[in-house]
Amino acid sequence: MADIDIRSVRKAYGKNQVVHGVDLSIRSGEFVVVLGPSGCGKSTLLRMIAGLEAITAGEIAIAGDVVNNLEPRERGCAMVFQNYALYPHMTVAENIGYGLKVAGLSKPERTARVETVAKSLGLSEYLDRKPGQLSGGQRQRVAMGRAMIREPKVFLFDEPLSNLDAKLRVQMRIEIRKLHNRLGTTSVFVTHDQVEAMTLADRVVVMNGGHIEQVGTPEEIYRNPASRFVAGFIGSPPMNLFDGRVTGPGEVQAHGIVLSVPHAGLKPGRPVTIGIRPEEVVLGAAGSNVASIDVDFSEELGSVRLLHGQVAGADFVIQVPATTAGPKIGRFSFEVPARAVHLFDAETGNRIGTAASGARAAA
Amino acid sequence: MIERTPVLNLVTHAVLFIGLAIAFVPMWLVFVAATLSLQEINTPPISLLPGSHLWENLAEAWTRADLGVKLTNSLIMSVAVAAGKIALASITAFALVFFRFPGRMTAFWLIFITLMLPLEVRIVPTYAVAANVFSPYQTILDVTGLSWLWQQLTGAELALEWNLLNSYTGLVLPLVATATGTFLYRQFFLTVPEELMEAAKMDGAGPMRFFREILMPLSITNMAALFTIMFIYAWNQYLWPLLITTDRTHRGTAVMALRQLIPMSGDSTGGGVPDWNVAMAGCLIVVAPALLVVALMQRFFVRGLIASDK
Ligand SMILES: Nc1ncnc2c1ncn2[C@@H]1O[C@H](COP(=O)(O)OP(=O)(O)OP(=O)(O)O)[C@@H](O)[C@H]1O
Ligand SMILES: [Mg+2]
């Protein structure tokens, strides 16, 4: 177990900057998920922690020791790769035990530890098989076993579940979380799947274009997105975002719809991006903050229904319980509770805070 | 792929059989000739059915060409060439594919260029170097005046010499120093996913350990292929052994020895007696080890082609 300190870390490939100064502190025993779109530099960050990629500038410290110039094996990290990277010519037992073999442990000792790890992962019957004779889920487990056996200070995962089918992914996700609860090893998990991030993480790090956009618990990230990017990235269906401007104290307007908001000190005329979560609007209510939507089509997702349509010409999605009675297509009026309105600066994309919410986390 | 095209099947099989016949008939004639007596072989027309003198012809060829020694020499040379080639090719390809170092592309191209210079093209300079491995350095020293300086200082003439003529080293080294195998290995290493190396790194294995314990076992079919190709290539060498061995009785190779069995007028051994039956028997003996290697190694190729758990 160890904490990880990432201080102003940058990465450039030649002239091409891919990580622009990341600061992040990971507490000992924490499960941190790095979430972001493809190409945002998540893997690069992870690989810099692992020692597979040189650090262009800044420092990474594991358990207080700066590891910039240490070899991967000296950092005490273990990694699970996206395509598992099992050694094809070795049996499951040899794959799991290879790290111990390199470390020079005796054969009986190795066998004993491999058996313990295999048992905890339900791999005991497959120890003599080659990776080619295993299913995707089993291979995944072997990769986990290989990482676990050395009892590392830090687990690093690079999209380990993305090659599995949906059902297995959910199952493995739960197993990874259980494993973490049992071992308590500091873990950094990279993914572009927000459900994985929300379900696994103690804290989520949202990255975009080589920057950290926000660091927070899954709930914070969902409730108080620090930027327009986070707001649009987290949540499925994503938050409705559209441009508007401040028209008075506690009042914004977009496409002719006037919304009163709890934000204080807004300068009239200031351009803003307005965000509204599809599930936070109340259908059919009358009162203030009312608008109407022309629904073109609706999607049934089992427990909920999505209504897709236009509000004053702009695309808008509303989520309602699937049990909602009445027609599914047509014109509906709905109410937006004032506390459900998120505002972002139109230029910087930063959240405009009410009282409690945080500002952009990136340095 | 399952296809049901009886006509096409028939045609392809016919083509295969014709090809087989074209390849096989000369071999058959060699075999038949090796079984005939001197009289039978010199009586036209050529018989197409084997006779009964195979063993005595083989024995005659064996003693006359001193094949015991020659086959041993050939075997030593071929195994050394094949093994040396595998060692050299795998380690150079490893350096080229898995490391980033200054001059990597230069090294790559230098190796590549050797592909355009087969032994036959550079045989004279190669011979000169084999006659004295230090001759290029000697030349440099002479031209720069350093050897003159040396002579002035020490009073002794500077003459570097290391002669490879008539040695197994001389037979083997020039055949090893080519790029074919390097490229085979390079192509293979390029298909090895980079994560495998990274996983090994995370497991704490250094580069040489990764090379030995992961890359080498994975490239076993490559190795078998290269071994076979290089073994046959070295086994069939004629020109180079002819040049480098002056002591033919002790250092000559089997293919060189065959030449002594071929009846030729004015030749010291043949004396014009047209005993092709003995020559052909010699051929059979000399070709056998090469066939054996192919037959044994073939199993690995086939397994390599079938197994897809990479
Ligand atoms: N070896 C490299 N040389 C040059 N550029 C690279 C290299 N590796 C990655 N990059 C660039 O760095 C950026 C970040 O890559 P990275 O692999 O970290 O993305 P990612 O967030 O993991 O994306 P994904 O979700 O697709 O895996 C990308 O734009 C990529 O093109
Ligand atoms: Mg990635």
For the domain made up of A4-226, the CATH class stated in words is alpha beta
Pick among A74, A75, A89, A135 to test the B interface (most B CBs inside 10 A): A89
Do B137 and B254 lie in one domain? The reply is yes
Return the DSSP state at A226.
Answer: S
The answer to whether residue B292 is domain-embedded is no
Per-residue pLDDT averaged across B214-230, rounded? 89
Provide the whole-model pTM.
0.81
pLDDT-derived band at B265 (thresholds 50, 70, 90) equals: low
Do B268 and B172 lie in one domain? The reply is no
Per-residue pLDDT averaged across A267-287, rounded? 87
The answer to whether residue B291 is domain-embedded is no
Do B136 and B35 lie in one domain? The reply is no
pLDDT value for B37: 78
Name the residue of chain A whose CA is nearest to B220's CA: A89
A229-345: CATH superfamily: Nucleic acid-binding proteins (2.40.50.140)
Q: What percent of chain A has pLDDT over 90?
A: 63
* DSSP result, A63-127: TTEE-TTS-GGGTTEEEE-TT----TTS-HHHHHHHHHHHTT--HHHHHHHHHHHHHHTT-GGGT
Do B105 and B250 lie in one domain? The reply is yes
pLDDT value for B130: 83
B74-89 tens-digit pLDDT: 999 999 999 999 999 9
The answer to whether residue B119 is domain-embedded is yes
Q: How far is A58 from chain B (nearest CA, A)?
A: 22
Do B141 and B15 lie in one domain? The reply is no
pLDDT of residue A44 exceeding 90: yes
Per-residue pLDDT averaged across A319-324, rounded? 89
Do B35 and B113 lie in one domain? The reply is no
pLDDT value for B270: 47
pLDDT of residue A355 exceeding 70: no
Name the residue among A268, A270, A252 with its Cα closest to residue A260. Answer: A252
* CA–CA dist A66, A5 (Å, integer): 9
CB atoms within 10 A of CB B202: 27
Per-residue pLDDT averaged across A42-54, rounded? 93
Name the residue among B35, B45, B28 with its Cα closest to residue B281. Answer: B35
* DSSP result, B190-235: HHS-HHHHHHHHHTT--HHHHIIIIIHHHTHHHHHHHHHHHHHHHH
What's the total number of domains in chain B?
Answer: 2
| Beta-sheet strand order (sheet of A330-335) | A282-283, A330-335, A290-300, A304-311, A314-321
pLDDT value for A358: 42
CB atoms within 10 A of CB A240: 22
- Token pair of B274 as six digits: 């047209």
CB atoms within 10 A of CB B285: 20
pLDDT value for A257: 84
The answer to whether residue B159 is domain-embedded is yes
Instruction: Give the atom of ligand 1 at the shortest distance from the alpha carbon of A44.
Output: 18
Please give the residue range of the domain that contains residue B27: 1-64+262-285
pLDDT-derived band at B304 (thresholds 50, 70, 90) equals: low
Do B272 and B254 lie in one domain? The reply is no
pLDDT-derived band at A285 (thresholds 50, 70, 90) equals: low
pLDDT value for B272: 60
pLDDT value for A27: 94
Per-residue pLDDT averaged across B81-104, rounded? 91
> In chain B, positions 206-235, which contact chain A (CB-CB < 8 Å)?
209, 214, 217-218
Do B42 and B182 lie in one domain? The reply is no
pLDDT-derived band at A360 (thresholds 50, 70, 90) equals: very low
Per-residue pLDDT averaged across B15-37, rounded? 89
pLDDT-derived band at A31 (thresholds 50, 70, 90) equals: very high
Which of A78-92, A265-279, A313-327, A345-359 shows the lowest per-residue confidence on average (mean pLDDT)? A345-359
Q: Which residues of chain A does B196 touch, with a Cβ-Cβ cutoff of 8 Å?
A: 85, 87
Pick among B203, B210, B222, B309 to test the A interface (most A CBs inside 10 A): B203
Per-residue pLDDT averaged across A213-233, rounded? 94
pLDDT value for A266: 84
Per-residue pLDDT averaged across A207-224, rounded? 94
Do B7 and B149 lie in one domain? The reply is no
Which of A166-170, A180-184, A217-221, B140-144 shows the lowest per-residue confidence on average (mean pLDDT)? B140-144
> Which one has a higher pLDDT value, B308 or A142?
A142
Question: Is B309 in contact with A52 (Cβ distance < 8 A)?
Answer: no
pLDDT value for B303: 63
pLDDT of residue A213 exceeding 60: yes
pLDDT of residue A22 exceeding 50: yes
Question: Is the preceding omega at residue B102 within 30 degrees of 0, hence cis?
Answer: no
- Token pair of B65 as six digits: 């060409």
pLDDT of residue B116 exceeding 70: yes
pLDDT of residue A243 exceeding 70: yes
Q: What percent of chain A has pLDDT over 70?
A: 97
Q: Which residues of chain B does A136 touch, with a Cβ-Cβ cutoff of 8 Å?
A: none
Helix, coil or strand: residue A228:
helix
pLDDT-derived band at B309 (thresholds 50, 70, 90) equals: very low
* CA–CA dist B111, B180 (Å, integer): 9
Per-residue pLDDT averaged across B197-211, rounded? 92
Return the DSSP state at A267.
Answer: P
* CA–CA dist A184, A31 (Å, integer): 9
- Please give the C-alpha separations between residue A148 and each of A4, A79, A161, A187, A275, in angstroms, as whole numbers: 18, 9, 17, 12, 43
pLDDT value for B258: 84
Per-residue pLDDT averaged across A306-323, rounded? 90
Per-residue pLDDT averaged across A146-168, rounded? 90
B286 contacts B238 by C-beta, under 8 angstroms: no
* CA–CA dist A312, B112 (Å, integer): 67
Per-residue pLDDT averaged across B60-87, rounded? 89
pLDDT of residue A318 exceeding 60: yes
CATH of the domain at B143: 1.10.3720.10
**What are A132's strand-pairing partners?**
none
Half-sphere exposure of A208 (CA within 13 A, CB side): 17
pLDDT value for B273: 67
A290 contacts A353 by C-beta, under 8 angstroms: no
Q: Which residues of chain B does A142 touch, with a Cβ-Cβ cutoff of 8 Å?
A: none
pLDDT of residue B264 exceeding 70: no
Do B40 and B127 lie in one domain? The reply is no
> Which one has a higher pLDDT value, A273 or B45?
A273
Which sequence spans correspond to the domains of chain A? 4-226, 229-345
Name the residue of chain B whose CA is nearest to A155's CA: B202
- Please give the C-alpha separations between residue A285 and each of A110, A125, A328, B213, in angstroms, as whole numbers: 67, 60, 16, 70
Domains A4-226 and A229-345 belong to one CATH topology: no
pLDDT-derived band at A113 (thresholds 50, 70, 90) equals: very high
pLDDT value for B308: 46
Return the DSSP state at A357.
Answer: -
- Token pair of A67 as six digits: 């590891």
Question: Is A88 in contact with B203 (Cβ distance < 8 A)?
Answer: no
Do B91 and B106 lie in one domain? The reply is yes
Q: How far is A84 from chain B (nearest CA, A)?
A: 8
Question: Is the preceding omega at residue B45 within 30 degrees of 0, hence cis?
Answer: yes
Per-residue pLDDT averaged across A190-209, rounded? 93
Beta strands in A249-289 (DSSP E): 251-254, 257-260, 271-276, 282-283
The C-alpha angle with vertex B64 and arms to B50 and B271, in degrees rounded to 5, equals 90
A79 contacts A100 by C-beta, under 8 angstroms: no
Per-residue pLDDT averaged across A244-270, rounded? 86
Name the residue among B193, B179, B202, B176 with its Cα closest to residue B97. Answer: B193
The answer to whether residue B107 is domain-embedded is yes
pLDDT value for B255: 86
Whose tokens are 């000190």? That residue is A265
Contacting residues for A301 by C-beta, under 8 A, at least 6 apart: A322
pLDDT value for B46: 75
pLDDT of residue A361 exceeding 60: no
Beta strands in chain A (DSSP E): 4-13, 16-26, 31-35, 57-62, 65-66, 77-80, 154-158, 186-191, 203-208, 211-216, 240-248, 251-254, 257-260, 271-276, 282-283, 290-300, 304-311, 314-321, 330-335, 341-345
Contacting residues for B165 by C-beta, under 8 A, at least 6 apart: B130, B131, B244, B245, B246
pLDDT-derived band at B143 (thresholds 50, 70, 90) equals: confident
Do B243 and B207 lie in one domain? The reply is yes
pLDDT of residue A362 exceeding 80: no
Mean confidence (pLDDT) of chain A: 89
Name the residue of chain A whose CA is nearest to B307's CA: A132
Query: Environment class of residue A146 by beta-carbon count within 10 Å: exposed (0-12), middle (13-18) or buried (19+)?
Result: buried
A116-141 tens-digit pLDDT: 999 988 899 999 999 989 988 899 99
